[in-house]
Chain A
Amino acid sequence: MIDIRNVTKIFKTKSSDIQAVDDVSMNVTQGEIFGVIGYSGAGKSTLIRLLNGLELPSSGDVVIGEDVISKMSKPDLRKKRQKVSMIFQHFNLLWSRTVAENISFPLEIAGVPKKERQKRVQELVELVGLTGREDNYPSQLSGGQKQRVGIARALSNEPKVLLCDEATSALDPETTDEVLDLLVKIRDEMNLTIVLITHEMHVIRKICDRGAVMENGRIVETGPVLKLFQNPEHSVTKRFVKDDINDEETALSFDEVRELFPTSQILKFGFVGSQSKAPIVSQVVKKYDLDLNILSGNIKRTNNESYGHLYVAIDVDDDTLERLKTELSDHDVTVEVEDK
């Protein structure tokens, strides 16, 4: 659906040239929710703006459907943008228009007759759960409600692709979850392809199918979301994953455990999917008659699977440890020994 081929974007400023996007290639399939994560200044916004031609690449091509965005004429591009719509971190609603009028705006641009516009606006107001607020002005709405208007507005011309630039970054955690749920719902109902960028790993974890990690204009790692979380390779990915599960406190308590039980080993069990529900660890521990001290555990859900880990302190000789490892890995549970 979306194909980005060796795209580079250089901003020429008076003092220097800034390479915001550096030889990026990626593709997004129809119906997928694709997340791009990176720290501030990584080039995420620039990348997503290349997708609807708000920025033009310095080299490389951006293809959406059959159209090469980077080579379209202005009128064609404007037409195309009706099908590749966008929502924003700060909502960017027109304060001079009511909720209904804001949602109607893209329809006016597309030249839809008034009767139809009103009908469509009503449907969208219901879809995003804002019934009764049609005649309010944006200043009368909460952040979450404003983003709902933003989403409704973006959907009014029945787009194929929805681009989300930090769409939840200005919202509190609960509202973020509501908006994310809404995104999944509209993806399912309208068979949308969604590209979202964020600096919050849990956004990727909650709703994305695949993700890419950006640093200094480059994509440093990409893959299915579960893989990124379970087996992050690049240091930036690791940092994001770590921030998401909040490992700092665990590391701290390890030191205490080591002082209390100098002979124990600290192990990390990792699970995916159904294993995280079966009592495998408990069975194995019983079998070898081991004592174990649970230090911390964690199960997280991605959009379609859960994964987790368990830190334990356990008193074993190296021999038993090896057998334990083999047995558990037969059940797809990974075992890592934490360094002293």
Chain B
Amino acid sequence: MNEMIKELTTMFSFENVKWDAVWEATYETLYMTVVATAFTFIFGIILGIILFLASKSEVKASKPVYGVTAFLVNLFRAIPFIILIILLIPFTKVLMGTIMGPNGAIPALIIGSAPFYARLVEIGLKEIDKGVIEAAESMGAGTWTIIWKVLLPESMPALISGITVTAIMLVGSTAIAGVIGAGGLGNLAYMVGFTRNQSDVTLVATIVILIIVFIIQIAGDFFSKAVDKR
């Protein structure tokens, strides 16, 4: 009983918290999240569009394209993130020149989340009224026009709510990456909070992560609503 009260007092005393370290970690988490989300958005949309077009196209070649893309997407989605980081170490080293720090985590973050987002994009595209796509075809639109002027704008609310979910997932992934040396709030919570038994630091890291997640959610909801004119 006494033990527990002691724990709680330390936790809420914030006596061990070094605020500049917290800022530094917050910055790293934000940096990893923003960069990874941006690339996930781009790659996810590209993959999602490939999946969507290949699944509905009548061209013979589309079947293998769909098969290969769907296989890769499912594969990378199935690998647990922590293992993916380790698996990608050689690749990361070549690409980023380091495997440590925020930059060392970014390739794994993107490769881990882009397939997930691609599936959300595909679902969003499938929800577009087929008649609208056909109307565009009947006006003489080519594939690129249909992608830019029909598929993307007409699925924008789904694309935004999808990237919101993905970004929140990425915040979680940065924390995991943090444990094995990527920096950020996860690193702070683990290296300082856990190993030095300073639970007040863990609490601060948790609160900051929650604030980041809430902000992402609120912003995502706002934008997804703002573009939805249905």
Contacts and interface: CB of A to CB of B under 8 A. Distances in A.
A96 B229 contact: yes
Contact of A106 (B131, B139, B150, B153): B139
B132 to A, nearest CB: 5
B135 A81 contact: no
B154 A94 contact: yes
Contacts, number: 64
B2 interface: no
B139 A85 contact: yes
A158 to B, nearest CB: 13
B227 interface: yes
B129 interface: yes
Contact of B138 (A54, A90, A96, A139): A54
Interface in A169-207: none
A85 B138 CA distance: 7
Interface string A64-84: 000000000000011111100
A97 interface: yes
A52 B135 CA distance: 11
Contacts of A79: 140
A92 B140 contact: no
Contacts of B145: 108-109
A106 B140 contact: yes
Interface in B143-157: 145, 149-150, 153-154, 156
Contacts of B137: 54, 81
B142 interface: yes
Select the residue from A78, A96, A109 with max chain B CB neighbours within 10 A: A96
Contacts of B135: 86, 88, 92-93
Contact of B230 (A81, A105, A139, A157): A139
B117 to A, nearest CB: 21
B134 interface: yes
B123 interface: no
B141 interface: yes
Interface residues of B, number: 21
Interface residues of A, number: 28
Contacts of A86: 135, 138
Contact of B132 (A80, A81, A94): A94
Select the residue from A54, A86, A94 with max chain B CB neighbours within 10 A: A94
A197 to B, nearest CB: 14
B50 to A, nearest CB: 20
A94 B230 contact: no
Interface in A131-182: 137-139, 153, 157
A94 B149 CA distance: 9
B153 A94 contact: yes
Contacts of B229: 95-96, 137-139
Interface of B: 129, 131-132, 134-142, 145, 149-150, 153-154, 156, 227, 229-230
Given A82-B140, A157-B139, 9 more contacts: A78-B140, A80-B140, A90-B131, A92-B135, A94-B132, A96-B156, A97-B153, A105-B149, A106-B139
Interface of A: 52, 54, 77-82, 85-86, 88, 90, 92-97, 105-106, 108-110, 137-139, 153, 157
30 contacts: A54-B138, A77-B140, A78-B140, A78-B141, A78-B142, A81-B139, A82-B139, A85-B139, A86-B135, A88-B131, A88-B135, A90-B129, A92-B132, A94-B132, A94-B150, A96-B153, A96-B156, A97-B153, A105-B136, A105-B139, A105-B149, A106-B139, A108-B149, A109-B136, A109-B139, A110-B140, A137-B229, A138-B229, A139-B229, A157-B139
